[in-house]
Every structure is written in structure tokens, then in C-alpha cells.
Amino acid sequence: MKANIPESTKQRIVIIGGGFAGLSFIQNIPKDHFQVVLLDKHNFHQFQPLFYQVATAGLEPSSIVFPLRKVFQGRKDLHFRMCTVERIEAQKNTVCTSMGEIAYDFLIVASGATTNFFGNAEVESHAMPMKTISEALKIRNQVFSNFEKALMAETEEERQSFLNVIIVGGGPTGVEVAGTIAEMRRFILPRDYPEINFQTMSISLVEGSPRLLNGMSEKSGKKALKYLNQLGVKVTLNSIVENYNGEVVSLKSGEKLQTRNLIWAAGVKANFVDGIAEENRVAGNRMKVNDNLRVEGYENIYAVGDVALCLGDKAFPKGHPQVAQVAIQQAKFLAHLLAKKGKPGFVYKDLGSMATVGRNKAVVDLPKLHLSGFPAWAMWMLVHLRSILGVKNKILIFLDWLWNYFTYNLSLRLIIQPEEKKEKVKS
């Protein structure tokens, strides 16, 4: 199998990853300057900030993904190949992929990040991460399957194990998942399962640091804690998960928590690409880049987004946060730099951060303003709707949110799993 990319007189830019950084780079690079080749193992862009709503049956998976080929329809000299990147051969200026070698003049690594289990293989084998749309669907399937199993539990202890939900990680994802499940417990699940007393269902959020939402202001962290307490979520701070065997969570303090539903949102690590020198692998598996986002030691390899660690920005001496806005701004800067339309030296402009906890409950940190409650919740919805690709997706999501708001009813509580193939009976 070959990539079969047409030859061109233009310089070729190869981009690894079709996430926020990859898309932003392509949207900002002048159309006539380069031949652009995008590589990704999926043929769609995933809107990660709303994965939790797919996992909790609030949105259809198709409404937060968008076909990459549709984004670039009609654009000449742009080629997409769905493949797995195996390694970079920097001396040969090629990328080794599952469909062979692809040559480049410039290489942009925008491979993003994946879940960080901090080396705990036992937790990794049993917990439910949420870094892809398929993982979000798996959470939905498992949680609702366990609710069905709770009906058939033989003991009360077994029933609680199927009902209880534990979320690890007190960042925006963990807070949003905990708040949504708490609202489901109050408004939706009792109607679906009248035989079960959901007042006994425990929802716990475990965070290793002294407060929630460490990437936001202390005021937002305290407000989020208040909202979760109002929703009946048990928040445990300064606590680290030591082990999970699929049924019991063991905390470092010695406390044991019983659940068949452990959602892991405790951290990320970058998708480092083999072939880059090991001395460039720094904290969190990221690649060390200079203030022009060029990987140190290479003349024509750049990294943007979650995989890049830039220490040249004085306002962020420990590197930029691994959030979508950083990826978008870095990619835009690099596109202008390579097209010789921008000034050297990337500087991140923090536009603010936000998190929603539930209906009319959210927190927003802007450079000179803090919002909470309904105004923050409305702003959160507006920003996310604006960021979704595709007019149809925007409309579908808005209608889903509107329906859920007025009816207190999530309509996507479906357990959809692939059927196992049956072995043919020999005659």
C-alpha cells in the first residue's frame, strides 16, 4: 500500500494530527504557497470539550465530529491520508506510516495527547478514559449497562457497586462529568428505573490536589466545589487513587470505594512520535520547542498544541496549558511564520477559561472578569456552539440542549455495542 501523493513543484508540509492544531494550521496557511498533506488515524475531527456530553447521553456522537475531507473540499494541493504514523526519519526528511514513507520539506507534529494513568497498569486496564469519541461511547455503554445489571443484583452491596460512579480528576472534564451524572440521578434515572432507589447512588469526585479546577482561579475552584456539593456529589481533595481492580477503588489514604464505574479524567500525556531525539522528550511526554515552535535540534520539524512544550513565553515559564486555545493560536502563528507573514516569537494570549457544572451552574475566568451561575453557563454554551464545525452540527446541538433544558430529559440513553461473531457450527 502506498500513499500515492501527487508530485508538486511546491514545498510539501506534512501535518501529523487533525485536531485543533492541525485544522487551525491548514485554515491559516495560504492556499497557494505549499502542498499540504494531513495524516490522521481517523477521517474526522473530534470536538473534545463535549466528549463528556456523549458519555452521559446528552449528545449524539455524530454532532461533535466532522469529516476532515468535508472541511477541505475544493482545496487544491491539500491531501488527506488516513494512516498510523510509526516514526520520523529526520535524516531522510520522511515520515514512516502504515502506508509507507511520505517525504516532507516541513513537518508539523500536532499529534495531541492521550490519557495519563501515571504508570498504573492495573488502573489502566479497568478504568474508563475519555480522550476519544469511541471512549466516550464506551463510557455511555458501560454505565447504562451497569444500571441494567443493578436491577438483577442479588445483594444490596452488589447493586450499589453497579450504581456508584467515581470520577478521578478535578479539572474541567471531571467536574463536568460529575455534575451531569448528578443531575441525571435526580431528574432522569428515577423515571427510567422506578424499581431502584437512586438516593442510595453515590457519585464521588477524587482530586489529588487541594482544590478543584487548578487551571482556573481559586474563586472558580471554590464555586465549582459549592455547585457539586449542592448536587450531592462527594468531593474528596488531596487524595490519590492507588489501585482499582474493576470493583474496588483503593485510595492512598487507605479508604476503599466500591464501584463498577470508574471514569478517569486525572491527566494527559502527549503523543510523542518516535524518531525525535530522546533529549527532546520532557515532562508529560512533550517535545521541547523554541519560541518559534521548532523542535530543538531540527531545522524543519515543528510541534504545536498538546505535544509541544515552549518555554520561551515569559508569561508561562513552565510552558503553556494543554488546552484548545493554545493549540489554535500556536498553529496560526506557525502558519503565518512559514508563509513569511508573521513575526518570530510565539506569545500566547489567554482569552480565558471556563467549566460547566450543571444546569445554570458554570464558572468563567476572563482576563479582567469572573462570572458564575447563569451568565457563565450561557457564555459557556455560546462559546462552544460557535466553536463546533458545521452549521448542521451547531443546530443539532442547540436543539438537543434546548430540549434537555425544558424537558429534563436526555433522549440518547442507548446501549449500542457491536455484536460478537458467532462461530459456525460444523456439520
The β-bridge partners of 95 are: 88, 102
Range 222-238 average pLDDT: 97
Q: Angle at Cα 179 formed by Cα 175 and Cα 181, nearest 5°?
A: 120
Rounded CA separation 285/110 (Å) = 13
pLDDT(347) > 60? yes
Instruction: Give per-residue burial for 267-299: e unless 16+ CB within 10 Å, then b.
Output: bbbbbbbebbeeebeeebbbbbbeebbbbeebe
Report whether 267 contacts 274 (CB < 8 A): no
Rounded CA separation 170/254 (Å) = 20
pLDDT(242) > 60? yes
Rounded CA separation 14/386 (Å) = 28
**Listed residue (3, 25, 12, 41) closest to 110, CA to CA:** 25
365-370's contacts with Cβ under 8 Å and 24+ in sequence apart are: 365/216, 365/217, 365/220, 370/217, 370/219, 370/220
Report whether 85 contacts 95 (CB < 8 A): yes
Grid cell at residue 385? 456552539
Q: How far is CA 407 from the centre of its chain?
A: 28
Q: In terms of residues, how long is the chain?
A: 427
What is the tens place of the pLDDT at every residue in 46-69?
999 999 999 999 898 999 999 999
Beta strands in 271-315 (DSSP E): 281-282, 286-289, 301-303, 308-310
Report whether 289 contacts 303 (CB < 8 A): yes
Q: State the DSSP H helix or E strand holding residue 382, giving kind and residue range, or none if neither.
A: helix 374-387
Q: State the DSSP H helix or E strand holding residue 343, giving kind and residue range, or none if neither.
A: none
Q: State the DSSP H helix or E strand holding residue 37, giving kind and residue range, or none if neither.
A: strand 34-40
pLDDT(366) > 90? yes
Which residue ranges form the domains of the chain, and what is each CATH number? 11-115+269-338 (3.50.50.60), 121-266 (3.50.50.100)
Q: How confident is the model at residue 283 (pLDDT cuts 50, 70, 90)?
A: confident
Q: Tell me which amino acid residue 314 is.
A: K
Rounded CA separation 68/390 (Å) = 11
Q: How confident is the model at residue 343 (pLDDT cuts 50, 70, 90)?
A: confident
Task: Phi first, then psi: give them for residue 237, nearest 5 degrees.
Answer: -100, 165
Q: What is the pLDDT of residue 410?
A: 67
Residue 19 has what DSSP assignment? S
Average pLDDT, rounded, for the chain? 92
3-state class (DSSP) for residue 98: coil
Q: How confident is the model at residue 422 (pLDDT cuts 50, 70, 90)?
A: low
Please give the full DSSP string across 169-195, using - where no structure is assigned.
--SHHHHHHHHHHHHHHHHTHHHH-TT
Q: What is the pLDDT of residue 312?
A: 82
Rounded CA separation 123/208 (Å) = 15
Range 410-414 average pLDDT: 70
Rounded CA separation 416/335 (Å) = 41
Instruction: Give per-residue burial for 364-391: e unless 16+ CB within 10 Å, then b.
Output: bbeeeeebbeeebbebbbeebeeebbbe
Report whether 152 contacts 143 (CB < 8 A): no
Q: Which has more confidence, 312 or 233?
A: 233
Q: Which has more confidence, 407 or 160?
A: 160
Q: How confident is the model at residue 421 (pLDDT cuts 50, 70, 90)?
A: low
Grid cell at residue 304? 504545536
% the chain with pLDDT above 90:
82
Q: What is the pLDDT of residue 368?
A: 87
What is the tens place of the pLDDT at every residue in 143-192?
999 999 999 999 999 999 999 999 999 999 999 999 999 999 999 999 99
Q: What is the pLDDT of residue 2?
A: 77
Q: How far is CA 104 from CA 64, 88, 107, 300, in A?
A: 31, 10, 6, 9
Radius of gyration for the chain, computed over Cα atoms and rounded to the nearest angstrom: 23
